[in-house]
Homo-oligomer: A and B are copies of this chain.
Amino acid sequence: MPRDKPLILADPTPRAMDLIFAPAERAKLERLGDVIAHDQGPMPDAMVDRHLPEATILVGQTAMPKERLDRARSLRAIFNVEGNFLPNIDYDTCFQRGIHVLNCSPVFALPVAELALGAAIDLARDISKADRDMRAGRETYGLDSNRRAFLLTGSPVGLIGFGDLGRALRSLLVPFHCPVKVYDPWLPERLIRAHDCVPAGLDEVLGTSRVIFVFAGVTRENQGFLGRRELALIRPDSVFLLMSRAAVVAFDAFVELVAAGRFRAATDVFPEEPVASDHPVRRLEDMLLSAHRAGGMMEAFRAIGEIVVSDAALILAGLPPVSARPAQRETIGRLRSKPVSIS
């Protein structure tokens, strides 16, 4: 018996339905189709297998090997409700059949960009350090407390990685009139220039920028590409903000250099999380610490639901999705080597 409404299968673990769908969005989702959801842990295989043949939209990180895809004859889209792509999908089959595989990484761009900007100003002006000093009763006032402070306005900025995160940050920088250099080996110079940035090599970005933001994701090829040699290029009066993935940096060298006063830094990511209680990074005066909290805020999770509803509506109307991030043949193999989970 043919369905009246398309079937939407929701298996959002590790996210709860209520987290990602505000009531109004959940209601919109219900209007789009019959929603069968399970968020008390991963949807049981039997449940997946029972509904998959009729499902048009799959919301979640459900394993989708070829056998399952072959039975999911109506399937038109898989929404990963995180910011990454997992290796548990037969992407080739999806590409051949035109099944959209999508993740929701764009929702994290603005949260990360805002925190990155706040952290950059914090480092440029020693905001949190001055706060600590005052709590400890050792503050100095006025110029004495500002000996190494500098204005972001006009300061040369370097962006390492220029995807959603980098572009969101670049927009926030507009009123600061900073010259911005970008290193991103996956992007052509033309696109970088179109965002009023100057393409540059990695060494140049590191050696000439006063404020350096790292937004690069991890791929098979780029682990540790910010090694000790590269970090040593950073100018002593510069600040360095690691906002994406700890694995792109030689983290021990990073900690050592900041400990030695070579430059000031902030990091939102760590090689192991939670960070060991005795890890030396916890005691660095010149390292602003953030416990993997740049992206995973309520407004981002709610935006996941909005993106899913919005793109599902387009797909069900026979139009292409425009909000979520599509998996692409060329990059999926590189990205999925290590799960990315900005949250």
Identify the A interface with B (CB < 8 A): 95-96, 98, 110-111, 114-115, 117-119, 121-122, 124-125, 127-128, 130-135, 137, 139-143, 145-147, 149-153, 171-172, 174-177, 186-191, 196, 273-275, 277, 282-283, 288-293, 296-299, 301, 306-307, 310-311, 313-315, 318-320, 322-323, 328-331, 343
Residue pair A119, B127 in contact (C-beta under 8 Å): yes
Residue pair B142, A323 in contact (C-beta under 8 Å): no
Checking B95, B134, B177, B288 against A98 with a beta-carbon cut-off of 8 angstroms, the contacting residue is: B95
Residue pair A291, B190 in contact (C-beta under 8 Å): no
Residue pair B291, A149 in contact (C-beta under 8 Å): no
Residue pair A174, B175 in contact (C-beta under 8 Å): yes
Residue pair B127, A288 in contact (C-beta under 8 Å): yes
Residue pair A125, B130 in contact (C-beta under 8 Å): no
**Copies of this protein in the complex:** 4
CB distance from A23 to the nearest CB of B (A): 17
**Across the two chains, which residue of chain B brings its CB closest to A149?**
B297
CB distance from A65 to the nearest CB of B (A): 20
Apart from A149-B297, A188-B322, what are 13 other A-B pairs with CB-CB below 8 Å?
A114-B153, A118-B124, A119-B127, A125-B297, A127-B127, A127-B128, A130-B291, A134-B275, A139-B289, A172-B175, A174-B174, A191-B310, A318-B330
Q: Which residues of B contact A322 (CB under 8 A)?
A: 187-188, 191
Residue pair B174, A291 in contact (C-beta under 8 Å): no
Q: Would A299 and B131 be within 8 Å (CB), given that A98-B329, A320-B331 are in contact? A: no
Residue pair A134, B297 in contact (C-beta under 8 Å): no
Checking B114, B137, B298, B329 against A152 with a beta-carbon cut-off of 8 angstroms, the contacting residue is: B114
Q: Which residues of B contact A128 (CB under 8 A)?
A: 122, 127-128, 131-132
Q: Which residues of B contact A330 (CB under 8 A)?
A: 315, 318-320
- State the CA gap A98–B186 with chains docked (Å): 19
Q: Which residues of B contact A189 (CB under 8 A)?
A: 310
- State the CA gap A310–B191 with chains docked (Å): 9
CB distance from A267 to the nearest CB of B (A): 10
